[in-house]
């Protein structure tokens, strides 16, 4: 009850309420942005196939032209791009990654599980996910599946990792 009242008071006077990471340590070079009130995105990651390799969040502009574009091209054009990468935690506890954003607004967010650690997406073994958690299948994901609105604070999302599942394409591990 006291916690709820504190959150109501903070919201009333315009303070940022920092979300809890559901028992997970907030990981990544941008962790301070999530624990300090943002603007940032806190992504809870679920459904990993295993605990090897690296986990990565990438932030893109929220438009078709720039979604999943080459990071070098985006950076040279002065467009939004940010990447946070961490080794996959060996323990089986919850995972929360933080990525800061330049300002409140709408962005596209991609999660990848680079299982072999080669820093290049391997269609056959690596995993991916987006905030909408719709089944990816065999096609390039639509921009709408990656969109996330970031307030003047911290946006939270849960992303379920998906891996190649035979002829049906990418889907969550059962």
Taking only the tens place, the pLDDT of each residue in 80-111 is: 999 999 999 988 788 999 999 999 999 999 99
Average pLDDT across the chain, whole number: 86
Picking from 12-16, 19-23, 37-41, which range would have the lowest pLDDT averaged per residue? 12-16
Domains of the chain, residue spans: 26-167
Global pTM reads 0.84
> Alpha helices, DSSP H only, in 22-166?
31-35, 71-76
pLDDT at residue 17 greater than cutoff 70: no
CB 171 within 8 A of CB 162: yes
CB 161 within 8 A of CB 49: yes
CB 99 within 8 A of CB 82: yes
Rounded (10°) CA dihedral 143, 169, 70, 30: 70
Residue 40 main-chain phi, psi, to 5 deg: -165, 170
Predicted confidence at residue 169, as pLDDT, reads 84
């Amino acid at each position: 009850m006291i916690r709820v009242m504190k959150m109501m008071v903070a919201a009333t006077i315009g303070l940022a309420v920092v979300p809890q990471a559901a028992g997970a340590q907030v990981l990544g070079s941008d962790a301070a942005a999530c624990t300090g009130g943002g603007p940032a995105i806190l992504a809870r990651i679920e459904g990993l196939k295993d605990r090897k390799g690296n986990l990565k969040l990438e932030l893109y502009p929220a438009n078709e032209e720039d979604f999943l574009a080459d990071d070098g091209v985006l950076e040279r054009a002065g467009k939004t791009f940010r990447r946070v990468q961490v080794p996959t935690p060996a323990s089986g506890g919850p995972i929360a990654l933080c990525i800061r954003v330049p300002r409140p607004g709408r962005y596209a967010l991609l999660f990848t599980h680079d299982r072999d650690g080669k820093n290049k997406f391997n269609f056959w073994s690596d995993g991916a996910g987006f905030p909408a958690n719709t089944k990816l299948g065999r096609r390039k994901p639509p921009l709408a599946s990656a969109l996330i609105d970031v307030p003047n604070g911290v946006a939270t999302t849960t992303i379920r990792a998906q891996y190649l599942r035979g002829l049906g394409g990418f889907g969550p591990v059962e």
